């Protein structure tokens, strides 16, 4: 896989797949649940939800409609080590969706009403996971292996920790960790040199320096542990994507395990 480093430090990974009709764009941020304070467990997952909300240029309705009406789909995955935002679009819609993605990552403030509404969604997901045998089995198995720790606690957090998160804390979280030196972009599918140049031109505008992350257990650097922690979340989050795009996303997201700092 060819890599290009943008002027601001973002690493762009290129994976051309010529026998597909769509383009996959994956923006990976090297922050996940293991880096969270114990009393704010779930803030990475909560922030993932909020990134799709209104920003300075687009409302949350415009974001959703622009992707869907352009023949695309989008999703996101929060894991223990990383958070990934995935878009699948047809080539002629690429530039507009790229602009939407950029303003999602550029945004620094959230709307209070959207924050309160999305908190209810996050809390509902936590409640659902407690009543879903498969999800509960996954959480219990991680707790059995790692105990009450950064790796053993559920990625979505607990009701009491998620409920305590304030809008200002999400905005601070964004400023501290959603910086260009803490991100990778993966472009795959039927893209051209023009699409690559578009990504470079747009995302080179991001600025900031990642804050120091809290220390984690050294054994988590091994690929096997990374795959174990990501497998369920990757596979369950790709159901809306085309089969070929799902295939390369699985492969690419396994590769991104080695990209985390």
Asked whether residue 252 carries a pLDDT value surpassing 70, the answer given is: no
The whole-number pLDDT of residue 220 equals: 43
CATH of the domain at 75: 3.30.830.10
Average pLDDT over the chain, rounded to whole? 87
The whole-number pLDDT of residue 235 equals: 46
Burial class (CB within 10 angstroms; exposed 0-12, middle 13-18, buried 19+) of 106: middle
Asked whether residue 123 carries a pLDDT value surpassing 60, the answer given is: yes
The whole-number pLDDT of residue 243 equals: 55
pLDDT tens for 207-236 read 999 999 987 654 444 444 444 444 444 445
Domain of residue 39: give its range: 2-259
Of 190 and 217, which is predicted with more confidence? 190
Q: Rounded mean pLDDT of 193-212?
A: 96
pLDDT band at 261 (very low <50, low <70, confident <90, very high): very low
pLDDT band at 172 (very low <50, low <70, confident <90, very high): very high
The whole-number pLDDT of residue 216 equals: 65
Whether 23 contacts 74, CB under 8 Å? no
Where is average pLDDT lowest: 47-56, 140-149, 191-200? Answer: 140-149
The whole-number pLDDT of residue 245 equals: 54
d(CA 194, CA 178): 26
pLDDT tens for 55-104 read 999 999 999 999 999 889 999 999 999 999 999 999 999 999 999 999 99
Q: Rounded mean pLDDT of 14-32?
A: 94
Could you give the number of structural domains in the chain? 1
Q: Rounded mean pLDDT of 94-123?
A: 97
The whole-number pLDDT of residue 171 equals: 98
């Amino acid at each position: 896989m060819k890599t290009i480093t943008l002027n601001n430090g973002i690493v762009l990974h290129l994976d051309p797949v010529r026998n597909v009709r769509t383009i996959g764009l994956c923006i990976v941020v090297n922050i996940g649940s293991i880096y969270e304070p114990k009393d704010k467990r779930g803030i990475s997952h909560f922030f993932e939800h909020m990134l799709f909300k209104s920003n300075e240029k687009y409302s949350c309705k415009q974001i959703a409609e622009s992707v869907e009406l352009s023949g695309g789909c989008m999703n996101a995955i929060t894991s223990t080590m990383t958070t990934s935002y995935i878009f699948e679009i047809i080539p002629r819609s690429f530039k507009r969706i790229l602009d939407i993605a950029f303003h999602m990552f550029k945004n620094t403030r959230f709307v209070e009403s959207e924050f309160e509404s999305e908190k209810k969604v996050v809390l509902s997901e936590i409640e659902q996971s407690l009543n879903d045998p498969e999800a509960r089995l996954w959480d219990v198995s991680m707790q059995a292996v790692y105990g009450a720790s950064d790796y053993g606690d559920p990625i979505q957090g607990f009701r009491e920790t998620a409920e305590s998160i304030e809008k200002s804390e999400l905005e601070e979280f964004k400023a501290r960790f959603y910086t260009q030196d803490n991100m990778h972009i993966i472009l795959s599918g039927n893209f051209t040199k023009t699409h690559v140049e578009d990504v470079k031109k747009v995302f080179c505008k991001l600025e900031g320096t990642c804050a120091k992350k809290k220390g984690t257990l050294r054994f988590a650097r091994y690929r096997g542990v990374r795959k174990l922690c990501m497998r369920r979340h990757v596979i369950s989050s790709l159901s809306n994507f085309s089969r070929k795009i799902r295939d390369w996303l699985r492969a690419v997201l396994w590769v991104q395990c080695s990209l985390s700092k």
